């Protein structure tokens, strides 16, 4: 799919006056950053090899490191992702923004999209749910819904229809950033995020991709201090947990949320089973190694 999309990218305008188009894609095959910039001093990179399609597949690398603003994991676009996401017709509007991502660092990245419109007053919003991108997981395809029910206002006076554009202006800036809550700025993190094939779509992922997207995992594992039950679909869901030793005894239990740390420093070193139950009664079990 990657090479067939290269022509689409080359046809996109690259000046600040360009406008978002349905099915547009940034695949980075032109050896540029495709107008994706940053606020901090660590520049984005176009990596010439090793994207989702393998050898010869370019991708964008976004890095945070050091201190202060350099720990911000965020990249923004003020060019081809500006404009009217309604496309002049609600039935053919941009409803999803999908991309290939890979976590090439050591920390969990909670990825979300944020948008800004400026009509004299600045309106900002963010996707309500982040998607967790785990280290050592390899490339995966993710999709963010930008329908109103999946967007959180970052202003009390926010107007959804203004932000996504029923007129010629619409979105002024789109951001891809790390934060476990809806926000305009990134939480500090040392991380390396690889991104490829960012696409504006009118339909969601396939059934197979959604099934992968909803998986739960324990991270890190093994660990000595804390575990996180990660989900790359919903960071706000309440859960209950039981940690069971090899004799079948519950040694720790409680309530938490997906993508929220659970402290296990009080447990002895050894092997355990972690049993997670969500609000629907679904049960997830995984072996835990406590160092």
The pair phi, psi for residue 150, each rounded to 5°, is: -110, 15
- Given the DSSP bridges, would you call strands 261-263 and 226-231 parallel, antiparallel or unpaired? antiparallel
Same domain, 220 and 187: no
Q: Is the pLDDT of residue 15 over 50?
A: no
Contacts by residues 205-209 (CB-CB < 8 Å, ≥ 24 positions apart): 205/96, 205/98, 205/141, 205/143, 209/141, 209/143
Q: Are residues 174 and 224 in the same domain?
A: no
User: 242 lies in a domain?
Assistant: yes
- pLDDT value for 204: 61
Indicate whether 264 and 192 sit together in one domain: no
Which of 84-88, 178-182, 207-211, 286-290 is predicted with the least confidence, judged by mean pLDDT? Answer: 207-211
The verdict on residue 191 lying in a domain is yes
Give the percent of the chain with pLDDT over 90.
44
Stretch 210-231: mean pLDDT: 75
Given this model, what pLDDT does residue 114 score?
96
Residue with tokens 């891809």: 176
pLDDT for res 161: 55
Whether 60 maps to a domain, the answer reads yes
Give the mean model confidence (pLDDT) for residues 257-273: 89
Indicate whether 11 pLDDT > 90: no
Domain shared by 96 and 179, yes or no: yes
- What percent of the chain has pLDDT above 70? 83
Residues 193 and 238 in one domain: no
Asked if 255 and 184 sit in the same domain, the reply is no
- Among residues 173, 201, 229, the one where a domain terminates is 201
Give the count of domains, the chain: 2
159 alpha-carbon distance from chain centroid: 23
> Would residue 174 count as lying in a domain?
yes
Q: What is the pLDDT of residues 46-83, one digit of tens each?
A: 999 999 999 999 999 999 987 777 899 999 999 999 98
* Alpha carbons 83 and 232: distance in angstroms, whole number: 28
What CATH code is carried by the domain that includes residue 226? 2.60.40.1930
Is residue 169 located within the same domain as residue 33? yes
Q: Are 96 and 194 in a shared domain?
A: yes
Q: What local confidence, expressed as pLDDT, does residue 174 receive?
A: 96
Range of the domain at 271: 216-290
Choosing from 172, 201, 230, the residue where a domain stops is 201
Q: Is residue 4 part of a domain?
A: no
Mean pLDDT of 2-9: 41
Residue 2 confidence (pLDDT): 52
107 domain-assigned: yes
pLDDT at position 90 is 72
Name which residue leads in pLDDT, 285 or 37: 37
* Among the ranges given (17-26, 115-124, 162-171, 175-184), the one the predictor scored with the smallest mean pLDDT: 162-171
- 243 plus 180 within the same structural domain: no
Residue at 3 is within a domain: no
What CATH number does residue 53 fall under?
2.60.120.260
Task: Looking at the structure, tell me whether residues 221 and 160 fall in a common domain.
Answer: no
Question: pLDDT tens across 127-144, in order?
Answer: 988 888 888 889 999 999
151 & 32 share domain? yes
Q: Which of 37-51, 180-194, 210-224 has the lowest mean pLDDT?
A: 210-224
Q: 210 lies in a domain?
A: no
Mean pLDDT along residues 162-170: 66
pLDDT in tens, 104-114: 998 889 999 99
Same domain? 222 vs 153:
no
- Among residues 170, 201, 232, the one where a domain terminates is 201
Of the given ranges (57-61, 88-92, 158-162, 236-240), which has the lowest mean pLDDT?
Answer: 158-162
| Better-predicted residue by pLDDT, 154 or 91 | 154
Q: Write the burial class of residue 245 (CB in 10 Å: 0-12 exposed, 13-18 middle, 19+ buried).
A: middle
């Amino acid at each position: 799919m990657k090479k067939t999309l290269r022509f689409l990218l080359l046809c996109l305008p690259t000046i600040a006056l360009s406008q978002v188009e349905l099915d547009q894609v940034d695949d980075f095959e032109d050896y540029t950053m495709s107008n994706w910039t940053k606020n901090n001093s660590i520049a984005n990179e176009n990596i010439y090899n090793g994207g989702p399609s393998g050898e010869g597949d370019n991708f964008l690398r976004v890095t945070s490191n050091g201190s202060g603003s350099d720990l911000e994991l965020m990249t923004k676009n003020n060019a081809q992702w500006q404009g009217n996401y309604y496309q002049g017709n609600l039935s053919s509007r941009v409803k999803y923004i999908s991309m290939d991502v890979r976590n090439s660092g050591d920390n969990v990245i909670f990825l979300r999209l944020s948008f800004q419109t400026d009509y004299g007053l600045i309106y900002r919003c963010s996707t309500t749910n982040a998607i967790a991108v785990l280290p050592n997981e390899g490339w995966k395809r993710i999709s963010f819904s930008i329908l109103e029910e999946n967007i959180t206002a970052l202003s009390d006076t926010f107007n959804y229809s203004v932000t996504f554009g029923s007129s010629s202006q619409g979105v002024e800036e789109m951001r891809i950033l790390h934060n476990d809550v809806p926000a305009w700025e990134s939480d500090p993190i040392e991380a390396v995020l690889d991104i490829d094939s960012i696409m504006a779509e009118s339909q969601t992922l396939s059934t197979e991709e959604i099934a992968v997207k909803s998986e739960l995992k324990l991270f890190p594992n093994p660990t000595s201090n804390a575990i996180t039950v990660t989900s790359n679909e919903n960071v706000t869901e309440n859960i209950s947990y039981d940690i069971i030793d090899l004799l079948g005894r519950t040694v720790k239990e409680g309530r938490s949320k997906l993508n929220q740390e659970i402290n296990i420093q009080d447990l002895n070193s050894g092997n355990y089973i972690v049993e997670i139950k969500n609000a629907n009664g679904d049960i997830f079990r995984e072996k835990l190694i406590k160092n």
